[in-house]
């Protein structure tokens, strides 16, 4: 059983994307005061903790992932006093709070970078990754940006290239500089002293680069696999990322982070790790008690459909290769197409509430720490954003092939009877709220116990009654077809059989009810003795 110090094991987190959660100021953008007003909604879901996406001071070229001051809140969201109020209210409701910290890069407007670019001899000259151009003016190597183009931008003032893994306004810090390492640890301490319960560490394996700036080797994406979920032929997918990230020095720095966290018992770290070998890298970064507590797993965030066989395969790969690591699972977040659309649209399931309910139950019964993205409790679908409304810099670069990440970032529909669905009383919202989300509003679902919202509350409350679903081991059981996902959870005192039908057809299997002490199942399942016929998108969780 998890102790108070490792409360995060088996916990359910709710991700707040603040600019789309609740606007209290009427400017069309969500803020911390608005989020504080809606914390009751999160607490009523029955989750244990909150992951708060970035609220640091920022020019907002990449929605706050371009930080210009790590120790202040951007006026768009409020100020430090409002943050403290948010944190205190969350704690009052029994909710832990981890904040999203971007350690690998800053904004180009950060005072550190402004000083660093001034010349090659200033006190922060070596705080960022600078390199001379080749004799022909080309960048120092073949590294490419995740967002497209080369991973280098030329600065005419300093007459050198600076490294940036993302947009040109996000220069990479140089962690080979010990002052940078120490300063960033002190930044984490600043927030720990304010009372946060931990950190979600953005692209945490990107901190160190190869000092020699060696070229990445080529990769055949069709033969060797793609590097991210969109599975498009892009330059980033055509390299093995051997030298631009995941360097050995990075692991040693994780020890320093863990040492700091150990000074604040009961805090935790969640690493976002993007790597050619995610499974192996996650194991390396979370092994034993020296590094991160857990790593955010992307295995269930890919593909345009899902069945029991490929979900089982992804989970077993992690479990078999990361025996010393505690997993974290999610189906979607602020960077990914919403799961109802990603896995459901191809077969017409995306607007079926039974499909969304089954996915919620299947996710929250897995062994690991669970992350829900805001709106998942409502069954929200991906939104289509007109080009002129796109805010995401990645989407602007890839349109019309892909609209970027804005489709999952539209504001929460709180009340379909109010302008802007009750999200804002301003003239407009930063992203449009799709008409189809009005029928999924919180106010509408509050009045219907059978709604997705009602189901989420009911199931998470039931889950908390059965410790085996929180700390039990996992073992996959034989299925009768690939559309079924069947696994067992077990601890020293109880076991649970968890069965999920990922198809729109009935599915029958044999299940014994002998010695069963509790059950949670779809209401339109059918039993004939020990023969269980699962309804389309049916589920059944039996406690023994």
Joined tokens for residue 288:
């034993």
Classify domain 4-106+178-460 at the CATH superfamily level: Glycosidases (3.20.20.80)
Catalytic residue (choose from 108, 202, 382, 416): 202
Classify domain 474-543 at the CATH superfamily level: Golgi alpha-mannosidase II (2.60.40.1180)
Over residues 196-218, the pLDDT tens digits come to 999 999 999 999 999 999 999 99
The CB density around residue 130, as the number of other CB atoms within 10 Å, is: 21
263 noted as active-site residue: yes
Joined tokens for residue 257:
């982070």
The burial of 114, by beta-carbon neighbours within 10 Å (0-12 exposed, 13-18 middle, 19 or more buried), is given as: middle
For the beta sheet containing 160-163, the strands, ordered from the edge strand earlier in sequence to the opposite edge, are 130-131, 160-163, 152-155
202 noted as active-site residue: yes
CA 389 from chain centre, in angstroms, equals 24
Q: How far apart are CA 296 and CA 317, in angstroms?
A: 15
DSSP label of 261: H
Q: How far apart are CA 5 and CA 238, in angstroms?
A: 43
Q: How far apart are CA 274 and CA 206, in angstroms?
A: 8
Over residues 502-512, the pLDDT tens digits come to 999 999 999 99
Residues 426 and 28 sit within 8 Å (Cβ to Cβ):
yes
Distances (CA, A) of 190 to 28, 81, 183, 198: 30, 14, 11, 12
Joined tokens for residue 284:
């390396």
Distances (CA, A) of 346 to 306, 321, 501: 10, 32, 17
Over residues 263-272, the pLDDT tens digits come to 999 999 999 9
Distances (CA, A) of 394 to 102, 121, 479, 537: 18, 34, 41, 34
One DSSP character per residue, 199-233 reads EEEETGGGS---TT-PPPPB--HHHH--SSTT---
Q: Where are the domains of the chain?
A: 4-106+178-460, 474-543
List of residues 6+ apart from 381 with CB closer than 8 A: 338, 340, 341, 345, 350, 351, 436, 437
Helix (H) / strand (E) element for 521: namely strand 518-521
- Tens digits of pLDDT across the chain (544 residues): 455 779 999 999 999 999 999 999 999 999 999 999 999 999 999 999 999 999 999 999 999 999 999 999 999 999 999 999 999 999 999 999 999 999 999 999 999 999 999 999 999 999 999 999 999 999 999 999 999 899 999 999 999 999 999 999 999 999 999 999 999 999 999 999 999 999 999 999 999 999 999 999 999 877 776 555 455 678 898 999 999 999 999 999 999 999 999 999 999 999 999 999 888 899 999 988 999 999 988 889 888 888 999 899 989 998 988 888 999 999 999 999 999 999 999 999 999 999 999 999 999 999 999 999 999 999 999 999 999 999 999 999 889 989 999 999 999 999 999 999 999 999 999 999 999 999 999 999 999 999 999 999 999 999 999 999 999 999 999 888 899 999 999 999 999 999 999 999 999 999 999 999 999 999 999 999 999 999 999 999 999 9
pTM of the shown model: 0.96
């Amino acid at each position: 059983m998890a102790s108070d110090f490792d409360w995060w094991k088996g916990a359910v987190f709710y991700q707040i994307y603040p600019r789309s959660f609740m606007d209290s100021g009427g400017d069309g953008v969500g803020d911390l005061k608005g989020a504080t007003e809606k914390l009751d909604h999160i607490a009523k879901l029955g989750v244990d903790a909150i992951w708060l996406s970035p609220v640091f001071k920022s020019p907002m070229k990449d929605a706050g992932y371009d930080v210009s001051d790590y120790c202040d809140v951007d006026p768009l969201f409020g100020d430090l006093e409002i943050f403290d109020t948010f944190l205190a209210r969350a704690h009052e409701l029994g909710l832990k709070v981890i904040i999203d910290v971007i350690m690998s890069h800053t904004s180009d407007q950060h005072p550190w970078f402004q000083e660093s670019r001034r010349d090659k001899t200033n006190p922060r000259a070596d705080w960022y990754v600078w390199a001379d151009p080749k004799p022909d003016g080309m960048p120092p190597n073949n590294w490419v940006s995740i967002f497209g183009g080369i991973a280098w931008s030329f600065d005419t003032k300093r007459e050198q290239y600076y490294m940036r893994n993302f947009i040109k306004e996000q220069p990479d810090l140089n962690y080979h500089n010990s002052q940078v390492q120490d300063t960033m640890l002190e930044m984490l301490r600043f927030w720990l002293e304010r009372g946060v319960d931990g950190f979600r560490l953005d692209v945490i394996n990107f901190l160190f680069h190869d000092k020699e700036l060696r070229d990445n080797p080529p990769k055949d994406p069709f033969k060797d696999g793609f590097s991210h979920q969109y599975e498009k032929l892009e330059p980033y997918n055509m390299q093995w990322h051997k030298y631009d990230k995941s360097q050995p020095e990075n692991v040693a720095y994780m020890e320093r982070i863990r040492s700091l966290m150990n000074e604040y018992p009961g805090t935790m770290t969640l690493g976002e790790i993007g790597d050619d070998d995610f499974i192996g890298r996650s194991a390396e970064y979370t092994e034993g008690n020296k590094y991160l507590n857990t790593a955010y797993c992307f295995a269930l965030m890919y593909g345009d459909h899902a069945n029991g066989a490929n979900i089982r395969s992804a989970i077993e790969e992690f479990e078999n290769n990361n025996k010393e690591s505690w997993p974290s699972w999610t189906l979607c977040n602020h960077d990914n197409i919403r799961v109802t659309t990603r896995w459901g649209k191809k077969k017409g399931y995306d607007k079926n509430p039974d499909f969304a309910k089954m996915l919620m139950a299947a996710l929250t019964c897995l062994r690991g720490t669970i992350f829900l993205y805001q709106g998942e409790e409502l069954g929200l679908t991906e939104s289509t954003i007109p080009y002129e409304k796109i805010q995401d810099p990645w989407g602007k670069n890839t349109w019309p092939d892909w609209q970027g990440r804005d489709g999952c970032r539209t504001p929460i529909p709180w009340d379909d009877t109010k302008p802007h669905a009750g999200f804002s009383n301003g003239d407009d919202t930063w992203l449009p709220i799709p008409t189809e989300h009005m029928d999924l509003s919180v106010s509408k679902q509050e009045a219907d116990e059978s709604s997705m919202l009602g189901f989420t509350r009911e199931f998470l409350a039931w889950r908390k009654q059965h410790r085996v679903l929180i700390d039990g081991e996992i073992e996959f059981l034989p299925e009768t077809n690939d559309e079924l996902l069947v696994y067992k959870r077990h601890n020293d005192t109880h076991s649970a059989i968890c069965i999920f039908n990922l198809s729109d057809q009935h599915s029958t299997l044999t299940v014994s009810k002998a010695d069963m002490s509790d059950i949670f199942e779809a209401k339109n399942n059918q039993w004939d003795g020990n023969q269980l016929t699962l309804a389309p998108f049916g589920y059944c969780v039996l406690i023994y």
